[in-house]
Amino acid sequence: MSDVMRSAEGLAYRHVAGAGPLIVFLPGYMSDMTGGKATALFDWAQARGRAALLLDYSGCGASAGDFLAGSISRWTGDVLRLIEMVAPGGQVVLVGSSMGGWVALRAGVRLGARLAGLVGVAAAPDFVDWGLDVSPAEAAALTAQGFFSRASGYGGDYLYSRAFLEDAPGCRMLAGPIGISAPVRLLHGQRDEVVPWRLSLEIAELVTAEDVQVTLIKDGDHRLSREADIARLTELVAGLC
């Protein structure tokens, strides 16, 4: 994409100025801003004259840095720095997919009154706790080389580093109330093979906002990238803008 820019820290991003709050898409684990939902949302916003931001976390996609040094804390910091760079002091709608939902919740708390709304797409906060049982062989690899790999199910392997795993406990969101007062919309497929759809109900209970809605798609998978799924996503984002 010819419109990709880079921040002083080497973070790759796409930004379009426009009306309303800045719509920010946050990708999942080892994903980037070239994904189907990200580009569809950006194109939708651009066509309607709305402000939008796509980004690659440090060490991911086209951004500089070492992926194995990445963590939820570091990637949340990346997001907040880029938001402040392109929309200083402005209102923001965060859209987080899978692990991006974890980052969105943390960034949303940090943004406080600047958060105009949050959308989680199969949001996966705290997935290290409930979705990443480390086997003895993986633990041995972690000790020997600082990371282990595991098949992603989407082609290729996921890498899990010591830095990521050691940072995760301090980033938990499900241990108590989530201090977000802006409207929250949670979209989840009931055929999600990666993130249990009931997790969205748990998030809805923990968020302190009163305006919280959960949309379940009975035949939806983890990706929710079909045309109808993306139409639901843009409808939710439009409602928050």
Catalytic residue among 97, 98, 161, 200: 98
Residue closest to 194 by CA, chosen among 86, 98, 61, 72: 98
15 is catalytic: no
Contact 149, 159 (CB under 8 A): yes
Residue closest to 57 by CA, chosen among 103, 126, 109, 1: 103
Q: How many residues does the chain have?
A: 241
Phi, psi of 132 (to 5 degrees): -140, 70
Residue closest to 187 by CA, chosen among 153, 231, 157, 146: 231
Catalytic residue among 56, 78, 126, 192: 192
181 is catalytic: no
229 is catalytic: no
| Residues forming the active site | 98, 192, 222
